[in-house]
Amino acid sequence: MRVRWIGLALALALVGAAAGYALGVLRQDEATTFAAAAPVPAHDPSVPVLPDRPYAPDIDYPPLATDLTYRTHGIGGPTYRWHYDVPTGWTPEEVSPLFEVRWRPADEPTVGGYSLRVKLVNEHQTTEEMVSEKEAAVAAIYDDVHVLARTDDMLSFRYREPDTNRKRYDTFVWFPAPGSSTAEFEMSVVGRAVDRPGLDSLRDHVAASIQRLV
């Protein structure tokens, strides 16, 4: 009986050894494989950034001064007239008789310098509405527009002038008649980066001088 158990155990051991050997051979014969290399999509791929288009150089003309002297002018007809100050020695260019005038130094080139423009408006809009309308118009007309300041009656921005490719700075201010919220008078100053201190001074002085007479 004991011999039978010993023989059975020996047989099982031999079978197990043979199975283990066969399994080992199979594992050795299997070729080792690796996942094929493939491009991995970036989580947030970068987009090539083109360099900013350079601006054309400004004209060679002295910067707008901050210590100008002024004299008073009028715009409008006998029954609708406004007064405002203009730098002494500046000459007018009538854009629309009685309703719009641009002023600049007498010896300044007509393109690329600085200027003051005044205009009577009749859109029947509040100053806030005029600001919003102008901001939308500027964004539609010019490239590289950056709003620098915005209030309920003023819009200041820089932009790329399409005809000359120069960097320009412009500020618009609207004024209602006394006791009204409807804009009736529009003033703007425009110039180069080098003119900005002078433009701020010009804007503030002219704005403080504006008054409706009739």
> Quick check: 72 and 213 in contact, CB under 8 A?
no
More confident residue, 14 or 207: 207
CA angle 123, 125, 129 (to 5 degrees): 120
- State yes or no: pLDDT of 57 exceeds 80: yes
> Quick check: 166 and 173 in contact, CB under 8 A?
no
More confident residue, 39 or 75: 75
**Confidence band (pLDDT; 50, 70, 90) for 186?**
very high
pLDDT number for residue 33: 42
- pTM of the complete model: 0.76
- State yes or no: pLDDT of 29 exceeds 70: no
**Confidence band (pLDDT; 50, 70, 90) for 49?**
low
- Rounded to an integer, what distance in angstroms lies between the CA atom of residue 118 and that of residue 113? 17
pLDDT number for residue 79: 87
Closest C-alpha to 199, from 153, 156, 141, 167: 156
CA angle 90, 86, 108 (to 5 degrees): 25
List the domain boundaries for the chain. Answer: 70-212
> Quick check: 203 and 210 in contact, CB under 8 A?
no
Assigned fold of 70-212: Protein Transport Mog1p; Chain A (3.40.1000)
Q: What is the pLDDT of residues 105-118, one digit of tens each?
A: 999 999 999 999 99
- State yes or no: pLDDT of 68 exceeds 50: yes
Count CB atoms within 10 A of the CB of residue 209: 15
- The DSSP element (H or E) to which 97 belongs, if any, is none
